[in-house]
Structure 1
Amino acid sequence: MKNHPHKPRLCILTTVSISIKSFCLDQIRALQQAGFDVTVICAPDPELPKQLPEGVDYRAVEFSRVISPFKDIKAVVSLLRIFRRKQFDIVQYSTPKASLLAAIAARLARIPHRLYLLWGLYYMGVQGMGRVVLKVFEKIICRLSTEILPISMDMVDFAKSQGLVGKTKCSVILNGSACGVDLSFYNPDRWAASRDEVRKQWGISADAIVIGTVARLTGDKGINELVGAFDNLSQRYPNLVLLLVGTQEQKDRLGDQTMQTIQSHPRIKTTGWQTNPAPFYAAMDIFCLPTYREGFGEVNLEAQAMGLPVVSTDVIGPRESVEQGRTGFLVSPQSQDALLEPLTVLIESPECRRKMGQEGRKRVENMFERNKLIQAMLNHRLSLLSSSVR
Structure 2
Amino acid sequence: MVQGARVLMPSEGAARPIPLLFLVTNFDRGGAEKIVTRCALGLPRSKYAVQVAALQGRSQAMKDDLARAGIPVHDLGMTWKGDLRVAVRLARLLHRERVRILFTFMFHPTLLGRLIGGLCGVPIRVSSERTMAWERTGRRLLNRWTVGLATHVVAVSDRVAAYAAREFRIPPYRLTTIRNGVDLDHFRPTRRDASAGAPVVGCTARLQLENDHTTLLRAFSTVGKRWPDAHLLLVGRGPEEERLKALGEALGIIARIRFVGEQPDVAPFLQQMDLYVQPSVVAGMPNSVLEAMAAGLPVVATAVGGTPEVVVQGETGLLVPPRDPVALADAMLRLLADHALAEAFGRAGRARAERDFGEARMRERLEALLDQLVERHLGLRFTPEVGWATC
* TM-fit CA distance, 1:235: 1.0
The residue that corresponds to 2:158 in the other structure is 153
The residue that corresponds to 1:101 in the other structure is 112
CA contact (8 A) 1:117 1:148 kept: yes
Distance in 1 separating the partners of 2:186 and 2:70: 25
The residue that corresponds to 2:121 in the other structure is 110
The residue that corresponds to 1:237 in the other structure is 227
Q: Of 138, 141, 166, which aligns to 1:133?
A: 138
1:299-318 counterparts in 2 under 5 A? 299-318=288-307
Q: 2:260 aligned with 1:271, yes or no? A: yes
The residue that corresponds to 1:26 in the other structure is 38
CA contact (8 A) 1:304 1:357 kept: yes
Distance in 2 separating the partners of 1:52 and 1:97: 23
1:28-43 counterparts in 2 under 5 A? 28-42=40-54, 43=56
The residue that corresponds to 2:215 in the other structure is 225
- Structure 2: tracts of 5 or more residues without a match: 1-9, 380-390
The residue that corresponds to 2:196 in the other structure is 206
The residue that corresponds to 1:199 in the other structure is none
The residue that corresponds to 1:11 in the other structure is 21
Considering Cα pairs closer than 8 Å and 6+ residues apart, tell me whether 1 or 2 has the greater RCO: 2
* TM-fit CA distance, 1:216: 2.2
Distance in 1 separating the partners of 2:49 and 2:286: 30
CA contact (8 A) 2:41 2:69 kept: no
Moved more, 369-378 or 161-170: 161-170
Distance in 2 separating the partners of 1:116 and 1:237: 45
Q: Of 282, 297, 308, which aligns to 1:319?
A: 308
Tell me the amino acid that sits aligned with residue 355 of structure 2. N
Cα 1:49/1:273, change in 2 over 3 Å:
closer
Q: 2:91 aligned with 1:76, yes or no? A: no
TM-score, reference length from structure 1: 0.85
Cα 1:282/1:49, change in 2 over 3 Å:
closer
Cα 1:244/1:167, change in 2 over 3 Å:
closer
Distance in 1 separating the partners of 2:199 and 2:65: 39
CA contact (8 A) 2:105 2:127 kept: yes
Q: 2:356 aligned with 1:367, yes or no? A: yes
Distance in 2 separating the partners of 1:258 and 1:138: 38
SS at match of 2:271: helix
Q: Deviations over 1:203-230 (max 9, x none)?
A: xx93211111112233421211111111
* TM-fit CA distance, 1:374: 0.7
SS at match of 1:283: coil
Cα 1:252/1:94, change in 2 over 3 Å:
farther
Distance in 1 separating the partners of 2:171 and 2:369: 21
- Structure 1: tracts of 5 or more residues without a match: 197-204
What is the number of equivalent residue pairs in this alignment?
364
CA contact (8 A) 1:225 1:334 kept: yes
Distance in 2 separating the partners of 1:52 and 1:145: 28
SS at match of 2:14: coil
Q: Deviations over 1:332-351 (max 9, x none)?
A: 00111111222121011100
Distance in 2 separating the partners of 1:50 and 1:290: 29
Moved more, 351-360 or 230-239: 230-239
Superposition RMSD in Å: 2.8
Q: Deviations over 1:167-213 (max 9, x none)?
A: 7711102xx12xx1111100124xx6xx79xxxxxxxx932111111
Q: 2:271 aligned with 1:282, yes or no? A: yes
Q: Deviations over 1:277-325 (max 9, x none)?
A: 1111111111000100012111111001111010001111211121111
* TM-fit CA distance, 1:331: 0.7
Distance in 1 separating the partners of 2:172 and 2:336: 48
* TM-fit CA distance, 1:96: 1.4
* TM-fit CA distance, 1:111: 1.2
Cα 1:88/1:219, change in 2 over 3 Å:
closer
